[in-house]
Amino acid sequence: MTIANMLPRERVFAALDFRKPDAVPVEYHASPAGSYEHGEPLHQLWERYPHDFGDTNSIPLARPEPQWIDAQGNYREFRRDEWGVIWEHLIFGLAGHPLRRPLDDWANLEGFQPPPVPATSGPKFECERLRAVCDQQRYFLKSGWISIFEVMHALRRFEDVLMDLATDSPEINRLADLITDYQLRTIHYLLARGVDAIQFGDDFSTQSGLMMSLATWRRFFNPRYELLMKPIHQAGKKVFFHTCGCGLKLLEDLAGLRVHAIWPQLNAYGEGELARFCRQAGIAIALHPDRGDLMIRSRPADVRSAVLKLAEEFSVSDGGAWFYIEIDSGFPFENSEALIETIGRLRGF
């Protein structure tokens, strides 16, 4: 292993600030689906090629609780989230589908309350804060999944939410304000606990364009995001934004909101155009290789070629980008191995 000039946290900050890192940073998302399917061999790969966003050795092996496995070995789990939505999960570790939503009937909005936000005092909070202080001696700490739109269409039928947005109904504004207030309190909690970056997680795009007009997005969402991001900027922390689908029309707005980094669906864009825009706008980018055709249906040689192409297209040695790796169920292990090992070799392992 030759990368030793920077600590992982320094390496990520260099990439985010468009300075040359000693090696392209890498981030693992410990997907329970991939951990459950591949088990110990995947965890050994992570340990051999550690990432920069935390202690790789602390990633636990994931498995479903026995009560959710039937006599035939089929998995089916029901969960009630903190907002009161009942979800059905049919593939362990992957997102489920809402079965019961509290706000399909607007009559239920009266008296509807958001979940509590953790306290910023007391033994539990102090323990979390001290753990963050300790981890930041080495690693870059990103936390949160701040969303408005995704919470709304979990609580209420998706098509109804789109109609509510189009008509700018009083109820959808009231719900959005309630969610925004909750997320603002969550952001203050995360900042008090100690983070380097806070992740936003709303997707607004199909594979070809936005789910709503840009005018609607700007009227409804932009001012609420501005409110949420303000304390993060004031604290000198980084703002990350996840955006699947083709959100090219939104990128200038995200730049205007002073988003520091995006995590896009790369195959929904022309990669050269995306690379040029992000570098000109000063927005760093998470390079997340395609989890469909590439990782499921291609060969290890194709995976290796795709990684090297991304590294060249986005000039990773000059900063402004890092690799994001999420291993899902259905990935042949040899493809997962090719992905992790190729990025590891780029990093000097």
* Residue bearing tokens 């760093």: 284
Residue 2 belongs to some domain of the structure: no
Residue 349 — pLDDT band, cuts 50, 70, 90? confident
Residue 198 — pLDDT band, cuts 50, 70, 90? very high
Would you state the structure tokens that stand for residue 218, as one six-digit string?
Answer: 């700007």
| pLDDT tens digits, 21-77 | 999 999 998 789 999 999 999 999 999 999 999 998 888 899 999 999 999 999 999
pLDDT at 37: 93
Partners of residue 321 on adjacent β-strands: 285
Residue 219 belongs to some domain of the structure: yes
Q: Which of 119-128, 151-160, 198-207 has the highest mean pLDDT?
A: 151-160
Cβ atoms 63, 329 nearer than 8 A: no
> What is the maximum span of the chain, computed from C-alpha positions, in angstroms?
62
Residue 80 belongs to some domain of the structure: no
pLDDT at 2: 52
- Work out the mean pLDDT of the chain and round it to a whole number: 94
Structural domain of 41? 8-72+104-346
Q: How far apart are CA 148 and CA 200, in angstroms?
A: 9
pLDDT at 269: 87
Residue 335 belongs to some domain of the structure: yes
Residue 209 — pLDDT band, cuts 50, 70, 90? confident
Residue 141 belongs to some domain of the structure: yes
Residue 234 pLDDT greater than 80, yes or no: yes
Residue 5 — pLDDT band, cuts 50, 70, 90? confident
pLDDT at 58: 84
Residue 1 pLDDT greater than 50, yes or no: no
CATH of the domain at 146: 3.20.20.210
Instruction: State pTM to two decimals.
Output: 0.94
DSSP alpha helix (H) spans, the chain: 8-16, 32-38, 40-48, 123-135, 149-155, 158-167, 170-193, 214-220, 222-234, 248-256, 271-281, 293-297, 300-313, 333-346
Would you state the structure tokens that stand for residue 94, as one six-digit string?
Answer: 């992957």
Residue 6 — pLDDT band, cuts 50, 70, 90? very high
Residue 213 belongs to some domain of the structure: yes
Kindly state the percentage of the chain with pLDDT values over 70: 99
Residue 30 belongs to some domain of the structure: yes
Residue 192 — pLDDT band, cuts 50, 70, 90? very high
Residue 187 pLDDT greater than 60, yes or no: yes
Residue 95 belongs to some domain of the structure: no
Q: How far apart are CA 322 and CA 316, in angstroms?
A: 7
Cα–Cα nearest to 26, from 12, 45, 39: 12
* Long-range interactions of 75-84: CB distance < 8 A, separation 24+: 81/154, 82/115, 83/114, 83/115, 83/151, 83/154, 83/155, 84/155
| pLDDT tens digits, 77-123 | 999 999 999 999 999 999 899 999 999 999 999 999 999 999 999 99
Domain count, the chain: 1
